[in-house]
Chain A
Amino acid sequence: MIEFEQASVTYPGGVQALKNLTLQIPAGQMMVIVGLSGAGKSTLIRAVNGLVPLTDGDVTVDGVSVRHARPKQLREIRSRIGMIFQTFNLVRRTTVLNNVLMGRLHDAGTLRSMLAMYKHEDVEIAMQALERVGIVEKAYVRASNLSGGQQQRVGIARALAQQPKIILADEPVASLDPPTSHVVMRDLQRINRELKMTTIINLHFLDLAKVYGERIIGMRNGELVYDGTGAQADEHVFRDIYGRSLTADDMLGAPAPAG
Chain B
Amino acid sequence: MTAGATQPKEGRPKRPAPTTKRIFTLIFVAIVAWAVLTIDVRLERLPDMPAALANIFDRMFLRDGPEWSYLPDAVGYMIESVQIAWLGTIIGAILSLPLGFFGAKNVSSGLISNIVRQILNGIRAIPEVLVAVVVFIPMVGLGAYPGTLAIGVHSVGTLGKLSAEVIEGIDPGPVEAARAAGGRPLQIQRWGVLPQVLPEIVAFWLYRFEINIRASAILGAVGAGGVGEALVQSLQFRRFDRAGMLIIVIVVVTILIDTASGYLRRRIIEGGDRPSKGAAREQPELAVLRPGAQADAPGGP
Contact = CB atoms under 8 A, between A and B. Distances in A.
Direct contact of A and B (CB under 8 A): yes
A116 B15 CA distance: 15
Nearest to B16: A140
B3 interface: yes
B13 A101 contact: no
B12 A95 contact: no
Interface in A96-150: 97-98, 101, 116-118, 120, 122-124, 127, 131, 136-140
Interface range for A: 10 to 19
Contacts of A127: 5, 9, 12
B-side binding surface: helix, strand, loop or mixed? loop
Interface residues of B, number: 12
A97 B1 contact: no
A139 B12 contact: yes
Given A131-B11, A136-B11, A140-B15, A120 B5 contact: yes
Contact of B2 (A120, A136, A140): A140
Interface string A64-97: 0000000000000000000000000000001101
A48 to B, nearest CB: 30
A106 to B, nearest CB: 16
A245 B13 CA distance: 50
B289 to A, nearest CB: 15
Contacts of B6: 120
Contact of B3 (A118, A131, A138): A118
A95 B2 CA distance: 7
Contacts of B278: none
A97 B11 contact: no
Contacts of A101: 3
Nearest to B15: A140
B4 interface: yes
Q: Helix, strand, loop or mixed for chain A's interface?
A: helix
A136 B12 contact: yes
A123 B4 contact: yes
A140 B13 CA distance: 7
A153 B4 CA distance: 20
Contacts of A116: 1-3
Contacts of B1: 98, 116
Contacts of B16: 140
A24 to B, nearest CB: 40
A137 B12 CA distance: 6
Contact of B5 (A94, A95, A123, A137): A123
A94 B21 CA distance: 14
Contacts of A122: 3
Contacts of B13: 136-140
Given A116-B3, A118-B3, 19 more contacts: A97-B2, A97-B3, A97-B4, A98-B1, A116-B1, A117-B3, A120-B5, A123-B5, A124-B5, A127-B5, A127-B9, A131-B11, A136-B12, A137-B11, A137-B13, A139-B12, A140-B13, A140-B15, A140-B16
Interface of A: 94-95, 97-98, 101, 116-118, 120, 122-124, 127, 131, 136-140
28 contacts: A94-B2, A95-B2, A97-B3, A97-B4, A98-B1, A98-B2, A101-B3, A116-B1, A116-B2, A117-B3, A118-B3, A122-B3, A123-B3, A123-B5, A124-B5, A127-B5, A131-B11, A131-B12, A136-B11, A136-B12, A137-B12, A137-B13, A139-B12, A139-B13, A140-B2, A140-B4, A140-B13, A140-B15
Interface of B: 1-6, 9, 11-13, 15-16
Across the A-B interface, the 8 shortest Cβ-Cβ residue pairs:
A118-B3, A116-B1, A95-B2, A139-B13, A123-B5, A123-B3, A140-B16, A136-B12
